Every structure is written in structure tokens, then in C-alpha cells.
Amino acid sequence: MSKSERYSPLPPWQRTDYCGAIRASDEGREVALWGWVQTRRDHGGLIFIDLRDREGIVQLVMNPEHNAAAHSAAGEARSEFYVAVKGKVARRSEGTVNAELPTGEIEILVHEFEVLNASAPPPFQVVDGEATAEEIRLKYRFIDLRRPEMQSNLRRRHQALKAVRDHLDQNGFVDIETPILFKSTPEGARDYLVPSRVNPGKFYALPQSPQLLKQILMIGGFDRYYQIARCFRDEDLRANRQPEFSQIDIEMTGPRPEDIQSIAEGMIASVYQRVLGIDVKPPFPRMSYADAVDRFGIDKPDLRFGLELKNLTSGFAGTAFKVFAEILSRGESVYGINVPGADPLTRRELDELTESVRTRYSMGLAWIKVGDAGWQGPIAKYISDAEKSAAASIADLKQGDTLIMVAGLPDKIRPVLGDVRLRLGAKFELDKSDELKFLWVVDFPLFDYSDEDKRMVAVNHPFTAPNPDDLKLLESTPLKARALAYDMVLNGQELGGGSIRIHSRELQLKVFELLGMSREESVDRFGFLLEALRYGAPPHGGIAFGVDRICMMLCGTESLRDVIAFPKTQKAVDPMSGAPSEVDPRQLRELSIKVTS
């Protein structure tokens, strides 16, 4: 048989079952299977092969006395060969049952065996737990995807999105696609630009999100929209960030924040029930942004453990400790974390933590231990008994506890202690709980001030509506204005965020003005939105969830790359295909583009 004849484009017979789906109840039945050879074992005549497909593994047995041709063909097979077999389901003999496999009670007595395609020696074994460098896994992604872990992760992703679609469909939402090629509308990150061949010198942008288009859909009367949208942002990458990603995009006409939150809670509850069989019980608790930052140092607190920040400023009023006294004289603050004696820190660990805060944040960290003889530590002798008593009361200090303190501007020191809190939570494995601690963080600031740009910037995006109670602040103290914005947080991870939008043209122009845009610049960048707002735009609002982040939580993995079929590296490179790559100079000439570096 010639090589071209051997590798027919069609399998020799129809598959009847998946490998991992066969059970003892199938005993005596004839089956036809396709799959990859996981392992081959030659036991002096009998050949055993573990055959793998998307459902799992089943053991094949080739006996030369039953079928010499099948036995001979199986002898040629090696790891990752793709084969087709026919055989009869039989129970394994007593003592050979593999209780760790769902198919461990049975095996297939093979009478027909064909190699459909041979394989080069794989660069790594297709088994979970194999220590393989991620760069190799990504380069050979077509092999990595065969691993049971990746198969499970991507199927969970499918189940999650199926639950999302079902829930939103049942609540009257319409799935509408929006363009991938669109106008560049700066929304906080760099755009990926696409040159237009038929309009030389002009460019489309890949959407950072469908934000403006879903607002247009509300103005267009669709009332309830959703989309599993592809989004693109040319940003520096991290483990939890990709240049292209998916989000569950939702928009409603005429909602209050609690209406959107209720829909979102039901959607997430449906996902957890469908994928993991876990009952999530809405409604989720609410916490203001100001409260979250004051108690946890960040706007996405992990509520599975305590170690909350404590404002110790009043306890050290009038202190003789020079460092604190100078800081407090400037109207700044002292915050601390009480580390309970049940989770002790050694002197070496405290010194390492102090040095880490100094090098990472250019700040000092002070600490004391409550010992048998009172407060102990480098600053203990400078603290009066009255200050010790007041601080102990505020921080609820007990025997054996350690108080970690940082002093300075609240907006500077609380994030530092928030980071310290998370590191301590990880150190003592307080963040390993299987609890699902959902939370809505609400009442975000509308604006922040960028020291780098020397101007105000939108905390969420420039289309977020201000809280009606704070509209008057836009004329006097806009940095104090709150937004009608909200984030859903789970165990310290932001799952999604949204807001009520601005539906008044004049208010939108005012916000653009506060962000440093002239009226002409606003019209040039967002003219189509401003024009649409002139024609009876209804109040509207929505939310967007990161699909990849949700799937990470569902799969219990630390990297987005484990829940995406074809991810990119931190340098935005696809090692498998080699993208991005150079292109034919003729293509560049057609696009009127010249590469200068």
C-alpha cells in the first residue's frame, strides 16, 4: 500500500462511542473508536494501549491469537499516533480493575486496528501535572490542547457561556453583533489600528469594547442587548491580560443600578449552577468604594479573611514619636493591620516586609508585638501608655498580636497596606478557602486626578453618569462627585463592572470639558454619539464581564492562558503561528504604508 493510500482522508469506519464514555454496562457490545495513543505496553505477546479522546481513556488489548493483523498494526503505534479500532467490551479480570479511571472496570478486546496518522515524538507528554515550560506548551498548542486539563477548561468555558446566553435570553435580551472595524474612539488604552486600502491614509480601530455601539442600540430602541464581544487593547500584558479578549456585554434601557445588578447576579448564579453545580444565593452584599478602600486598601477586596485596615490616626494624636508627629502635623494619617497571634510573624519576616515596603513604595513600615511585658519592637519605647491603649482599642490588639503600621497621605498608604494584607493572606493561606465571597462595590468616584497628565481622568469611562445628588459638584468640586458605577467582585477578583450612562448631550459635553476636551475635539472624536443623543435618547445603563476572568475562577487556574484556546505571551506573541510577523512589501504598498524601523 502506498503512503497516499494508507492515509485516506476518511476514517475506515464510523465511530460508535467516545473512549471515556464506555462503562461496565456495555459489556459484550461491539464498539468502534478513534483516538490518540496515550501509552503502549508490550507484555510479551499481549499489547495494551491506553486510547484517549475528548471524553477520557480506555484500555485496548491486542492478542495475536485473536487477530494477528490487529496485533501487528498495534505494535507499530507510538505515543500520539491517531488510530481507529474495532473491538468488544469486556470486563477486566479481578485484580486488574483501575479504580482511578471511569473506564477502569472494562477493556476493549480489539480485532481491527488501523493507524490513521503517525506522530513525531511529542515534545511533552499529554498528561495533567506534567512540568512543561509554558513557552513550549504555547509553541505546540495543538498538542497542549489535548491535555485533559485544557479539554476540561475549554468545555467549562463553553458551559459557562451557554448558561449566560440562556439566562439573558430568558430575560428578554437580544444578541446583537457590533462591528470589529470601527472608528478610533480613545477610551483609556491604545487602539489596534487597521489601515484602509480603499481610503488611503485612513484607519479603522479594533474596538476596545462595544461601549458606544451598545449605547447607540439603546437609542435605537432595542431595550435589552447582550453580546459575547471580542475586544482589543494594545496594552502592556500581564498573566491576567491579553491583547484580545472576550466580554459579556449587557445594556438595558431605563434601569436603576439595582436592576442591572439583579440581572447580573442571576446570570452568575446560573453559570455556577450549570458548570459546578454550586448554588449561589443572590442578592450579593454592597459596599461603597470609600468603605472598601478604607477597610481593605483596594476597590476589589477579598472577603474570605479579615486583616482589615484600621485608622489609628486618633490614637496617636499628640504623639511624641517624631516620625508620626511630623506626618500628623501635615494633616496626614496612620493606618495599620492587626496580625493575630494565631498567625505569628518572626522578626526576620517583619524585617523583610519592612524592606519590601521601602523598596517597592519608598515608604517606611513600623511594627510592634504585644508581648508578655507589653509592646515590643523598634518603636515601642517612643509610644506612650495612653497611645498604646488607644491604638490597642482601635485595632483590637490582644496578647501575641502584631500591629503593622504605615503613615502618610491616606490615598498613598492604604493601597500599600492593601497589598501587604493580600501578601499576608497568601502567606498564611487565608485566601485558599473554597468560599465564594461575592460583593458589589458601588459609589465609585466619577473622576480622578492624573499626576502624570496633570488633568482629571475618568475613573470608569467618560460616558458614566454622575450620581444625581452630586450633579452640583461638577461646577465646584468635580473630584468629589460620585459615579453611578458598580463592580462585581469575587474573592478579590473583579468579575465585571458597569454604570448608568449619560443620556443628555449637554451633560456629556460637560464631562468631556472637565476631562480637558474642547467642544470641537469632543465632536471630532464622538460626534456620532453626540448626534444620537439629540434624538430622544432614553436613560440606559449596563455592565460587562470578563469571560476569561470568570473562567479562571471556575477552573481554579492562575492564568488566563489556561482558559483560552490560542493565547499570546506577555509580549503579545503567538509562539505557535509566529504572529505578529512581517508581511509582503506589496501588501504595504497597497495600503500606502512605509515601515520606517
pLDDT in tens, 477-506: 999 999 999 999 999 999 999 999 999 999
How is residue 520 annotated by DSSP?
Answer: H
Start-to-end C-alpha separation, the chain: 54
Asked if the model's pLDDT at residue 172 lies above 60, the reply is yes
- Strand 224-232 and strand 174-175: the pairing is parallel
Asked if the model's pLDDT at residue 78 lies above 90, the reply is yes
- pLDDT at site 50: 97
In three-state secondary structure terms, 479 is: helix
H/E segment holding residue 48:
strand 46-53
- pLDDT at site 250: 98
- pLDDT at site 34: 97
b/e map of 61-91 (b: 16 or more CB within 10 Å)?
bbeeeebeebbebbeebeebbbbbbbbbbbe
Domain limits, the chain: 3-117, 151-287+439-562, 305-432
The pTM assigned to this predicted structure is 0.92
Mean pLDDT of 117-141: 91
* Whether CATH 3.40.190.10 fits 151-287+439-562: no
A 10 A CB-CB count for 596 gives 4
Map grid coordinates 459635553 to a residue. 509
- Strand 438-442 and strand 286-288: the pairing is parallel
How is residue 502 annotated by DSSP?
Answer: P
Domains 3-117 and 305-432 share a fold: no
Distance (Å, whole) CA 458 – CA 440? 20
Distance (Å, whole) CA 264 – CA 277? 18
Determine the topology of domain 3-117 in CATH: OB fold (Dihydrolipoamide Acetyltransferase, E2P) (2.40.50)
Burial class of residue 293, CB neighbours in 10 A (0-12, 13-18, 19+): buried
**Nearest to 401, CA basis, from 366, 353, 369, 354:** 369
| ω into 283 cis (within 30 of 0) | yes
Distance (Å, whole) CA 495 – CA 551? 10
Distance (Å, whole) CA 535 – CA 216? 11
**Which residues are CB-contacts of 92 (< 8 A; sequence separation ≥ 6)?**
59, 98, 104, 105, 106, 107
Asked if the model's pLDDT at residue 3 lies above 60, the reply is no
| Residues 502/464, Cβ–Cβ less than 8 Å | yes
Distance (Å, whole) CA 527 – CA 199? 20
Percentage of the chain with pLDDT > 90? 89
- pLDDT at site 1: 47
CATH number belonging to domain 305-432: 3.30.1360.30
**CA contacts within 13 A on the Cβ side of 28:** 1
In three-state secondary structure terms, 3 is: helix
- pLDDT at site 275: 98
Three-state helix/strand/coil letters over 105-153 = CEEEEEEEEEEEECCCCCCCCCCCCCCCCHHHHHHCHHHHCCCHHHHHH
Mean pLDDT of 322-350: 95
Asked if the model's pLDDT at residue 2 lies above 60, the reply is no
- pLDDT at site 18: 98
**Nearest to 42, CA basis, from 64, 14, 17, 10:** 64
- pLDDT at site 442: 98
Residue 317 zone, left/alpha/beta (φ > 0; ψ -120 to 50; rest): beta
Q: Which of 174-188, 284-298, 519-533 bottoms out in mean pLDDT, i.e. has the lowest? A: 174-188
Record the cell numbers describing residue 304, joined without a space. Answer: 474570605
In three-state secondary structure terms, 188 is: coil
Q: What pLDDT, in 10s, does the model give residues 371-430?
A: 888 899 999 999 999 999 999 999 999 999 999 999 999 999 999 999 999 999 999 999
- Strand 402-408 and strand 333-339: the pairing is antiparallel
Q: What pLDDT, in 10s, does the model give residues 546-590?
A: 999 999 999 999 889 999 999 999 889 999 999 999 999 999 999
Mean pLDDT of 219-223: 97
**CA contacts within 13 A on the Cβ side of 392:** 19
- pLDDT at site 230: 97
H/E segment holding residue 206:
strand 203-206
A 10 A CB-CB count for 437 gives 16
Mean pLDDT of 342-365: 94
- pLDDT at site 71: 96
Helices (H) and strands (E) in the chain, counts: 17, 22
Name the average pLDDT for the chain: 94
Distance (Å, whole) CA 49 – CA 54? 16
Q: In residues, how long is the chain?
A: 597
Q: What pLDDT, in 10s, does the model give residues 235-271?
A: 876 656 899 999 999 999 999 999 999 999 999 999 9
442 phi, psi to nearest 5 deg: -125, 175
Distance (Å, whole) CA 165 – CA 171? 10
Mean pLDDT of 84-91: 98
